[in-house]
Amino acid sequence: MSAPSERYSSVAITLHWVIAIAILGMIFGGWYMSDLPDGAPGQYFLYQMHKSVGITILLLTVARIIWRAMNPPPSLPEDMNGLEKTASHLVHLGFYGLMIALPLTGWLYSSVSIKLDVPTVLYGVVSWPDVPFVEGLKTETASGAVNFIHSKLAWVALALLALHVAGALKHEFSAEEGVLKRMLPGLFGKTSKPATPSRGAVTAFGSALGVLLVVAGASPVLSILSGSGQAVTADAAFAQNWTVNPDASSIRFAGIHDGNAFSGAFSNWDAAIQFDPNAPNDAEVQVTVSTVGAQASQKLYTDSLPAPEWFNSAAFPTANVEILNIASSGDDTYTSTARLTLKDITVDADFPFTLQIDGDQAQMSGQAVFQRTALDLGQSSDPNAAWVSEDITVDVVVEATQSN
C-alpha cells in the first residue's frame, strides 16, 4: 500500500461536486424537458431553469479553471502506470472541454433557435443576452446542427463519466489506494494528507463574477442605446379639448402564460382627445403608445416584449389606437370600437367604458380584449397559443382635465 496522497483543496472539492451534480441534473433534466409536448405545464419554467443552471456551470467553470491554474492539483500516485496517468489526464481534459462546450452550444442554440425565440433571464432576475453576431445561423439547418451537437455532447459527457468513475474506483481500492478520498468532502476524505494552502479565490471567483457582469451588463446598455427613454406624443389633426393627467392614468394588459396570470403596463403613451358628452359620436380620440417601455410583472416578459416576434420595437417603436363609434348606453356608460394598429396590422375590438365628468375633470375606465395571433404576436415561439393565451385584456384608466 502506498502512502496516503495529498487532498485537493476544499474549493476544488466543492467546485468538483457542485458542477458534477449540476451537469448530471442538466443532462436528465434536458432530456425530460425536451421530451415534453409543447405547452406542457411548467415546460417554459424548466427551459429557463435549464438555461440559468447551464450559464451558472459556465461561470463556475471559469472560476474552476483559474483556480486550477493557481492551485495545481496534487499529483497522481507514483505507482500508477504511465498509460493510466495519460488516460486520466485525457479524461480530465475532456471534462474541461465539455464544461465549456456544453453550455456554449446550449447558449448558441437558444440564441439561434427559431422555435425557442425566447430571451434568457437567469433565475428570473438577470437578463442574459443572446450570443452576438450569430444572426446568420438562424436557419432550420444551422440551428438544428447546433442542437444536435449540444444533445450529443451530453452522451460524450456520460461516456467520459463512466471512464472517470471506473478510474476513480479502481485507484481507490487497488494498490494505489486513496485517489477518490482526495476528492471527497470533509469526513469522507479524512485519511488522505491535508491539502497545501491554497490561494487565488478572489481572482477565480472575481473573474467569474466579472464575466457575468460584462455579459449581463450588455443587455441594459443595448436597450438604452436603442432609445427606450424617449417620451411619445400623440399627434392629432383635430383640436383637442381634454388633457390627460399621466400620473393618474394607465394602460395595462393581462393574459395567461404557462398556466399563470401575467400583467403589465405601458409606461410611455399619450392621447389626443376631442370629446363633447352631448355629441359622443363626433368625438375624436387618438392614442400613441410606445412599445419600447412596456413593463410586465416578470422580467422575462419585459425582456420578451420588444423582440421581433412580439412588438418588434426596433422596427415599430409605437402602436396607435383610435376610439371610434362612441355611443352612450346610459348612466355614464358608453360603447365604442378600439381600432389598434400594431406592426402595420390593424384590428378592431369592442371597447365599452364608463365616464364621469365633474366640472372640468373626467374619469374614464374601459376594457378591450385583443386576440394576439391576429396581431402577429408570438407567432414563431408559440403559434398555437400553447403557452401564452390567445386573449389579451387591455384595461385603460384615464383622468383628464378639460382645456377649453
Q: Please report, as ranges, the residues that interact with ligand HEM according to CB under 6 A.
A: 23, 26-27, 30-31, 34, 47, 50-51, 54-55, 57, 102-103, 106-107, 109-110, 116, 120, 147, 150-151, 154
Residues 6 or more apart whose CB falls under 8 angstroms from that of 92 comprise none
Q: Cβ closer to ligand HEM: 116 or 369?
A: 116
Q: Cβ closer to ligand HEM: 61 or 71?
A: 61
Percent helix, strand and coil across the chain, each to the nearest 5: 40, 25, 35
Q: How far is the CB of 109 from ligand HEM (least distance, A)?
A: 5
The CA distance from 340 to 227, in Å, is 23
Q: How far is the CB of 103 from ligand HEM (least distance, A)?
A: 4
Evaluate the CA torsion angle 366, 371, 376, 377 in order and state its sign. positive
Q: How far is the CB of 48 from ligand HEM (least distance, A)?
A: 10
Q: Cβ closer to ligand HEM: 105 or 318?
A: 105
Q: How far is the CB of 397 from ligand HEM (least distance, A)?
A: 39
Give kind and range of the element (H or E) at residue 15.
helix 10-35
Phi, psi of 142 (to 5 degrees): -65, -45
Q: Cβ closer to ligand HEM: 13 or 121?
A: 121
Q: How far is the CB of 44 from ligand HEM (least distance, A)?
A: 11
Of 288, 295, 305, the closest CA to residue 246 belongs to 288
Give kind and range of the element (H or E) at residue 211.
helix 201-225
Give kind and range of the element (H or E) at residue 11.
helix 10-35
Of 367, 380, 117, the closest CA to residue 254 belongs to 367
- Per DSSP, the three-state class of 120 is strand
Q: Cβ closer to ligand HEM: 324 or 386?
A: 386
Q: How far is the CB of 237 from ligand HEM (least distance, A)?
A: 48
Q: Cβ closer to ligand HEM: 109 or 266?
A: 109
